[in-house]
Amino acid sequence: MTSQTQKGKRGFELDIHVAFAQLLPREQALSTLLALEGFSVDLYQPHPNAMPQAVEVPDAVPSARLTGPLRDAAGVRAGLQALLGDHVRYVEVGVRGFLRSAEGQTEWMPWRRNVILPRDDAQRVAFEEGVKYVLE
């Protein structure tokens, strides 16, 4: 009897964390994120003890994470600039290393360096591997 080893995958993907200025209803959060289409979206749920105001907003969303391959750097920069309007407090974005198991579990590598930029300076995001840009 021979067993076949299942191999995982390693590489780099765009990793974007969006923190909203205030809790948003789920649908409003999703419509805000349309500025960056084509990515997997994970909406975070607030912890009731950390955010008691979450009880007042049904399906409250404090932040979201978008991941996927970087296909169009200029389009992502334009989307980031559009996101940094009324509803977004800050955005963290970068091309991050990962290890994905054969079962689909993803382990993200730590960032090598952080670059802090003004919120209106998305054009300076260079998408260097392992560098996280914070637009605030």
- How many Å apart are CA 62 and CA 60, to the nearest integer? 7
Asked whether the predicted pLDDT for residue 50 surpasses 70, the reply is no
pLDDT (average), residues 101-111: 89
Q: Answer whether 17's CB lies under 8 Å from 67's CB.
A: no
Task: Name the residue with higher pLDDT: 85 or 124.
Answer: 124
What pLDDT digit, counting tens, does each position of 56-95 carry?
666 889 999 999 999 999 999 999 999 998 789 999 999 9
Quickly state the pLDDT bin for 104 (edges 50, 70, 90).
confident
For 77, left (φ over 0), alpha (ψ -120 to 50), or beta? alpha
